[in-house]
Structure 1
């Protein structure tokens, strides 16, 4: 209620990226303050203690995680734990630092309870971020999302080695690693969702090697089932630990936001309620293709208990939020967890 009546109106007077930076500063301050963490826990911490699961060797106290994109540089994990998240994923991080795409590059479309962004993988680079994360002492799993550096000149084997650098660095701090093969917001606009490109990438990363951290693959929402079947077959050959569905969308079909506004915004990845049904469909397809034993993290349009249950019923074991927090605030985590029961979980 405080967020809806007081904080949200202030944030929505700023542009989307300015509001994000304000929220990130507040979360980063909480991250470094035991007092603010305790205060946040008192207000927001989940009281449902029957939601614990063990997946790919990790214990998740509840199924609600922070999606990659909010905390690209790893400055807020303790704060997210205090807010009641059951796990947190930072990044995407890349081997080299990147300022990302030119501003403006993040936009709200309130009529659809969604966002469009073309941030361009802005982050401080793997070395600095991994060093920052090295002193964390979390009680929840930490995921690190990796992607290729946003530099069109990095191609071929150099692109594979770029990924490998971040992957090797993340091994030092991550409880699991997400390989982001589907980010459209890069200079060359290419992804690793081409079957041969994915094969070459996984061959380079070698996720099944002894001592590797659990490795998950994140897919776009704009994928069709036949293509998904080919990619999952490749992933299974390399014994990946699980899947995340989904990343953002380039499709603008069926939005309530008028076309002139969408045209003025331009390119970018669509997230939020507008991709809810489509992302749930991809979760369902992955469950059909990969079978019951493979963990799936569902993300896309989860902005309340009903949307969370939809993902779980489709086959997700865990869930992630980001855009929903923009519209509903940090109390969303607790409100979802309060409505879940042990029987809702697949793990």
Structure 2
């Protein structure tokens, strides 16, 4: 595979954020080129009727989506569609633009197939990003992830107004919106993971009061205990939240093979990738059990193989998202998992991914 044998070794010689930026520059050029999009589609795009689902009134060609954080500013959704993603989630976007935290702020843990980032919600701001996305032509669902502006002075009522501003902007172009209530990469850390604060935020967004509101999901941290999650879920259910995303990155450093000295030198930030998969699967299962499987869940965190994808889906995830796996496995990952899912369906003698949940 060209990515693993040639491209990845070259990129991994660079600082992680520099490599990410170069990848984005190329991806943006590819997004703007009909020829490169067609080439990407021919090489990587794999679809099958058995993978198609209709959720929240949206058609998902396959269950694999691009996780928030990879395309913060909405520059490259077209090439992601060409690569075979079933949907893309842009962001996090915030009310005000932000340059994020000082560099270095993105680190690889190659032995763990993981990343640690403390980017700090760097983005161009909701208004600019939404304006940019208005010119994009996609035939897959577009999600917008919103968070609070990375500014310790934006707290209380100002924080809620900040969310509401991003929410209203996102409604102009999003097929669904994800409310990110935790971000370990900011000074404040947990923003709205207090039940009372979350209740106030969701009341301000007025989701339950307007059936026309675009499907609005809540994204949880991977570090929640079951008791904490149940409290937050109860608040969300009271506000008739139609689905959930599990999970965000982790502030913990569990299940790592990388030496503790290296991890200590890196310092704070959100851990993503393979080591957090067990946490993500567990939280997906807790959500599915608590909602009796009636609310769709997007599983994210360590999806880099068919095995993890199946674990996540059998725990209750209807859709999946990928970020770190794309960096370690390359653009062929989406095609590989989708093809293997179809093979799995055939071995189970079922026609649709819907039926996978009934055999679990």
Q: Which of the five TM-score ranges fits, normalised by the shorter chain?
A: over 0.9
* Residue matched to 2:157: 157
* Residue matched to 2:146: 146
* Residue matched to 1:198: 198
Normalised to the residue count of structure 2, the TM-score between the two structures is 0.95
Given that residues 277 and 302 in structure 2 are in contact (C-alpha distance below 8 angstroms), is that contact kept between their aligned partners in structure 1? yes
**Alpha-carbon distance in 2 for matches of 1:249, 1:76:** 26
* Residue matched to 1:283: 284
Q: Deviations over 1:25-56 (max 9, x none)?
A: 11111111111111100000014332110001
Given that residues 100 and 121 in structure 1 are in contact (C-alpha distance below 8 angstroms), is that contact kept between their aligned partners in structure 2? yes
* Residue matched to 1:330: 331
1:116 equivalent in alignment to 2:113: no
Compute the displacement of 1:154 (Å). Answer: 0.8
1:4 equivalent in alignment to 2:12: no
Compute the displacement of 1:187 (Å). Answer: 2.1
Q: Deviations over 1:230-282 (max 9, x none)?
A: 11111011111100000000111331111110111000000000101111000
1:72 equivalent in alignment to 2:72: yes
1:297 equivalent in alignment to 2:278: no
Q: Deviations over 1:71-129 (max 9, x none)?
A: 00000111100000000000000010000000000000011110000000000001110
1:309 equivalent in alignment to 2:296: no
CA RMSD of aligned residues (A): 1.1
Alignment of 1:173-192 (within 5 A): 173-192=173-192
* Residue matched to 1:255: 256
**Alpha-carbon distance in 2 for matches of 1:61, 1:346:** 17
Q: What's the secondary structure of 1:59's corresponding residue?
A: strand
Given that residues 178 and 216 in structure 1 are in contact (C-alpha distance below 8 angstroms), is that contact kept between their aligned partners in structure 2? yes
* Residue matched to 2:32: 32
* Residue matched to 1:171: 171
Alignment of 1:21-100 (within 5 A): 21-100=21-100
Compute the displacement of 1:62 (Å). Answer: 0.3
**Alpha-carbon distance in 2 for matches of 1:182, 1:288:** 22
**Alpha-carbon distance in 2 for matches of 1:97, 1:32:** 24
**Alpha-carbon distance in 2 for matches of 1:275, 1:68:** 16
Q: What's the secondary structure of 2:91's corresponding residue?
A: strand
Alignment of 1:10-25 (within 5 A): 10-25=10-25
Given that residues 184 and 191 in structure 1 are in contact (C-alpha distance below 8 angstroms), is that contact kept between their aligned partners in structure 2? no
Compute the displacement of 1:346 (Å). Answer: 4.2
Given that residues 181 and 190 in structure 2 are in contact (C-alpha distance below 8 angstroms), is that contact kept between their aligned partners in structure 1? no
For structure 1, the 5+ residue unaligned runs are none
Q: Deviations over 1:293-330 (max 9, x none)?
A: 10000001111111111100100000000000110001
* Residue matched to 1:235: 236
**Alpha-carbon distance in 2 for matches of 1:187, 1:250:** 13
**Alpha-carbon distance in 1 for matches of 2:328, 2:128:** 31
**Alpha-carbon distance in 1 for matches of 2:337, 2:61:** 14
* Residue matched to 2:348: none
Compute the displacement of 1:288 (Å). Answer: 0.6
- Which deviates the most, 24-33 or 34-43? 24-33
**Alpha-carbon distance in 1 for matches of 2:272, 2:27:** 22
Structure 1: which 4+ aligned runs deviate by more than 6 Å? none
Q: What's the secondary structure of 2:119's corresponding residue?
A: coil
**Alpha-carbon distance in 1 for matches of 2:303, 2:204:** 34
Given that residues 174 and 214 in structure 2 are in contact (C-alpha distance below 8 angstroms), is that contact kept between their aligned partners in structure 1? yes
Normalised to the residue count of structure 1, the TM-score between the two structures is 0.98
For structure 2, the 5+ residue unaligned runs are 346-351
